[in-house]
Amino acid sequence: MPIDPMPDWVLPRRREIGRRIRAARLAANLTQMQLGHRVGRDHRTIHRWEYAQRVPDLEDLLLLADAVGVPLAELVR
């Protein structure tokens, strides 16, 4: 069950993970559409993750890390 309200650190952390996903995607020279195709998600979902509107689950994070060629820890540390 979600905590309501969320602790103050949650949203900034989500934003940071989104920034890391975006930076890794750009470093891999991929568009949101190309990355979405690689991980089996719509490009709008990639956008939502990058801008902290949604949170990728662990499986998606593993797929993302593999698709952009970085260790999972680099996306979520």
Within a domain: residue 70?
yes
What CATH number does the domain containing 54 carry? 1.10.260.40
The mean pLDDT of the chain is 94
Range of the domain at 65: 10-76
How far apart, in whole angstroms, are the C-alpha atoms of residue 45 and residue 42? 5
What Cα–Cα distance (Å) separates residue 59 from each residue in 39, 56, 67, 73, 75?
10, 8, 12, 14, 13
Q: Give tens-digit pLDDT for 41-62.
A: 999 999 999 999 999 999 999 9
Within a domain: residue 45?
yes
4: pLDDT strictly greater than 80: no
pLDDT of residue 1: 54
Within a domain: residue 26?
yes
31: pLDDT strictly greater than 80: yes
Total domain count for the chain? Answer: 1
